[in-house]
Structure formats: C-alpha cells, structure tokens
C-alpha cells in the first residue's frame, strides 16, 4: 500500500530541484506523492475540476528519462503543478468553473501552459476558479465550493482559489493564476502562500479565458518567493499572439538583498491602503514593517494623491470589458450563469461608453500617481487584503477582499503577495509589495530578503 512521504508534501521547488537534478529523488516519486495527496485532501477542499493523474505519471516518467540521459531542463523539470481552469489545455477540458463551458475541450494550449510544459513540469490537473474569474470566493454553483485548507469554513479567496488551496494544502508545488482585480494575490493571502502578479505585458494571456482584457494578468502561486521567481521566469516572454507582451528577458530575482536591506527604501502610502484595515491584519503588517527596518530598509511615507480614482475606474473598465466578452451568452443563455455573476453582467450592461472612456482617462492619472510615489523608493508596502479569509456567506466582507489589490491591475504594476503573519484565529495574513514597471526582480528580491529572515512561509495547515 502506497503511503505519503510527508517530507515531500510541503517542500518547495527550490528545495526539490537540486535533488531531482542529482537523481536523489525521482520525478515519478514526487508525482506519486502529489496524486496521493489529492486523494487524501481534495475531498475536503474540492479544489480540482479535473484530475489528470495518468498524464502526470506519463510526464513524470518522461522527466525521469530525460534527466537520466542528461537532458535536464531547469528548476521546474519534474515538478507537479496545477493550472487554473481558465488556462486552455489541449485535449483537457477548460470549464472556467462554469456551466457554459463545462464540456469545452480546447485544441491548443495557452502560451503559459506551453511554456511551463517546455520547462518540464508535470500536470496534476485543472483547479477551480470563481465562475469566469468573476468573484473572490471560488464558491461555484456548478462545481461546488472550494474550501480554505486553514479552515474549511472559510473561502480560499478568488478567483484563483483552487490554485491557492492546492498549493497551500501540499498538493501542487506551483499553480497558475490570473489576476484582474487581485485574483492571484487574494488567494495567496487567504491561503498563506506567495502570489506574483507581474507587470502588464510580462506574461502572455493568449489562451486564457478573459475577464477584462486591459486588466488581466497571468502569474504563479507558490510556497516561496524563490519559487515564484523561478515560475515567473518560465512563464515570461514575448508572444506574437498577445500584442500586449514585451520582448524582455525573464526578470529573475535580486538575491543580494538576502543578507541586508541597507540602502533599500520602502514606501508606505499615507492614505487608502491602511484605511479600514482589520486589526489582525494591521498588527501583522506593522510587525513586518518593523522587521524590514531591522533588516536595514528605510521606511518612507509616500502620498498617492489620486488613489481615490482607483475603485471607480477599475469597476467601469472591468464591467465594460466583461460584458463585451460575455454578451452573446448573456443574451442567449442567461440562466446558465450563477446568480452573482449574472448580476454583475446585468449591471455591466447599464454602463455607458462615456463612463468606460472616462475611466480609461482616470487610469492614466492613476498610473502617473503611482510612478510619482515610486520615484523615490524601491517598492511600496501595503497589506495584501484588508481582512483575513471570511466565510462564503459573509458577503460584505468577501466584497472587500480586492480593495488593496485592484489598484495595480489598473496601473499594471508588478505586485507580490506574501505571508507575514497569522490572526489569533490562525488565519494567514499577507503583505503586498508593489514595484516599478518590469522591476519584478527588485520586488521579488526584497520579498525574498524578508522571507529568509522569517518563518511564516514554513507554517502549513493541518488537514
């Protein structure tokens, strides 16, 4: 009878990759462990829409053979991952956790899926999203609610909640997410893992079911900052099929900060981000700020004078672009949407072209405001969310989860969500680091320095 090797359950990619490369551990063994973990904990989590165990074992055996013959592809070779069920996967259904796409099987891979496959990853399956990525709970009326591994009565966040849950629960070592208003960073915060939203244009969105074309970002969720850097490198790059992408080398990570943050300037916004934050989150983030100071960073107050535009601009842009994509189905199959998503779409139909265009004008003002704030500092530091993971029926609090993430979807700036503490109830708290365009290496490097000197990322749920 197969049994779990718990040494592998919560290992990081960085920890495993050298052992796989040296053939101390086989990708087959790692994949078997991941599949056993799915069997053990997914009945409680309901993170998966589709499990691809046979494919995973086939890919793991191929990885083992390639490595034995000297064809090692890098840090992700032989690493079990999951894809958010918005990412097209050739021959594997892509449902967007919806009734409308429940039987849709793409005939090609999204660019990000193809890149991760080229890096040698092993696909465990497709995981839940809030229906069409349009919410923060991942509570699907079509596939059932996904639960938070720290407390099954709480949401895992959304919309990449299945990815957050699978990574936090010791199933996948990395998973893909998409982020239109915080949908990578919110699940990372709710589940106590790392989520990296890169700069708009860093990662191709080709072959990913869209929510808002000018707000959507693709990126990884992982168990450590270094793993996020390794995963982002594999996903990044110019793609002629996505005109928003830029031709830049992979960002990497600045590891020189790990010993000291002396000379690093961290900006704390004087408005918005610390308004109405719940006490448990504020306490953890303030302790993190103190740690950054201890590591040598200079903490600087910065002003975001135009931040008040963010929520209204984001809402108008999102609703306009969401309805534009869904309008044919909304007209022909309205009853096939969940109640919350249908309500959002119906409200979006009332949006005027003038409102959408004014929001795009406000966006330019907001971008400049952030660039001005970042001109004298290396990163901005904020809470990732104003509260810890609520229950799904706590509607008012679930609506607040995107308050601190949404502004950098409008601006397109790179933003990292990473663990920095726990509430007295034992729920994770994450901070957010925001950087200048295409300076992911700096954002990740400063986050890595904090992570190397704390142990929050080493705590795991007891499922």
Active site residues: 84, 159, 183
Which of 209, 208, 212 shows the shortest CA–CA distance to 406? 212
Q: What is the DSSP string of 257-283?
A: GGS--TT-EEEEESSSTTTT--HHHHH
Q: What is the Cα Rg of the chain in Å?
A: 20
Cβ contacts of 381 within 8 Å, gap of 6 or more: 266, 267, 268, 285, 288, 289, 292, 431, 432, 433, 434
The per-residue DSSP string of 62-81 comes to HHHHHHHTT----TTTT-EE
Residue 179, H or E segment? strand 174-179
Strands 80-84 and 379-383: what pairing? unpaired
- CB-CB contact of 424 with 242 (8 Å): no
How far CA 91 is from CA of 83, 96, 380, 417, in Å, comes to 14, 15, 42, 32
Rounded distance, CA 81 to CA 166, Å?
9
DSSP state of 239: -
Whose CA is closest to 199, among 410, 417, 442, 414? 414
Residue 279's φ and ψ, nearest 5 degrees, are: -60, -40
Tokens read off for 166: 């699978």
How far is it, in rounded angstroms, from Cα 77 to Cα 116? 9
Token reading at 257 = 């900060």
Is residue 434 within a helix (H) or strand (E), and if so which, with residue range? strand 428-434
Helices within 46-135 (DSSP H only):
53-68, 111-118
CB 164 within 8 A of CB 426: no
The two three-digit tokens of residue 142, written as one number: 């079509």
Count of residues making up the chain? 463
What's the token pair of residue 458?
A: 């080493």
Strand partners, 421: 429
């Amino acid at each position: 009878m197969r049994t779990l090797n718990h040494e592998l359950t919560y290992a990081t990619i960085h920890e495993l990759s050298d052992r796989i490369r040296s053939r101390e551990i086989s990708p087959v063994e790692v994949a078997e462990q991941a599949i056993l973990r799915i069997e053990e904990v997914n009945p409680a989590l309901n993170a998966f829409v589709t499990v691809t165990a046979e494919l995973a074992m086939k890919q793991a055996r191929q990885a083992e053979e390639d490595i034995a013959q000297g064809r090692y592809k890098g840090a992700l070779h032989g690493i079990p991952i999951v894809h958010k069920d918005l990412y097209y996967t050739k021959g594997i259904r892509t449902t967007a956790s919806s009734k409308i796409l429940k039987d849709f099987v793409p005939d090609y891979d999204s660019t990000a899926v193809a890149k991760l496959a080229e890096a040698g990853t092993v696909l465990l399956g497709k995981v839940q999203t809030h229906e069409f990525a349009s919410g923060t709970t991942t509570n699907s009326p079509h596939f059932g609610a996904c639960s938070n591994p720290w407390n099954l009565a709480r949401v895992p966040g959304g919309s990449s909640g299945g990815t957050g849950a699978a990574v936090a629960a010791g199933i996948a070592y990395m998973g893909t997410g998409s982020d239109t208003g915080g949908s990578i960073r919110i699940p990372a915060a709710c589940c106590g893992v790392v989520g990296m939203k890169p700069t708009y244009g860093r990662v191709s969105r080709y072959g990913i079911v869209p929510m808002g074309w000018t707000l959507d970002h693709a990126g990884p969720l992982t168990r450590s900052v270094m793993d996020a850097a390794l995963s982002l490198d594999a996903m990044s790059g110019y793609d002629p099929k996505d005109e928003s992408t830029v031709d830049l080398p992979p960002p990497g990570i600045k590891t020189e900060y790990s010993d000291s943050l002396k000379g690093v300037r961290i900006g704390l916004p004087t408005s918005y981000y610390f308004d109405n934050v719940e006490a448990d989150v504020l306490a953890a983030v303030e302790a993190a700020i103190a740690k950054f100071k201890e590591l040598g960073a200079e903490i600087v107050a910065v002003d975001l004078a135009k931040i008040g535009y963010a929520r209204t601009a984001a809402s108008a842009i999102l609703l306009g672009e969401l309805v534009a994509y869904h309008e044919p189905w909304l007209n022909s199959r309205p009853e096939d949407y969940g109640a919350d998503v249908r309500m959002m779409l119906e409200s979006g139909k009332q949006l005027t072209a003038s409102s959408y265009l004014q929001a795009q004008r406000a966006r330019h003002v907001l971008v400049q405001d952030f660039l001005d704030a970042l001109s004298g500092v290396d990163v901005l530091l904020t809470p990732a969310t104003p509260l810890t993971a609520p229950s799904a029926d706590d509607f008012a609090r679930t609506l607040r989860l995107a308050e601190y993430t949404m502004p950098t979807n409008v601006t397109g700036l790179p933003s990292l969500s990473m663990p920095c503490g726990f509430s007295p109830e034992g729920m994770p708290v994450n901070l957010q680091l925001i950087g200048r365009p295409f300076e992911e290496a700096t954002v990740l490097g400063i986050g890595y320095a904090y992570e190397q000197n704390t142990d929050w990322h080493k705590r795991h749920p007891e499922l």
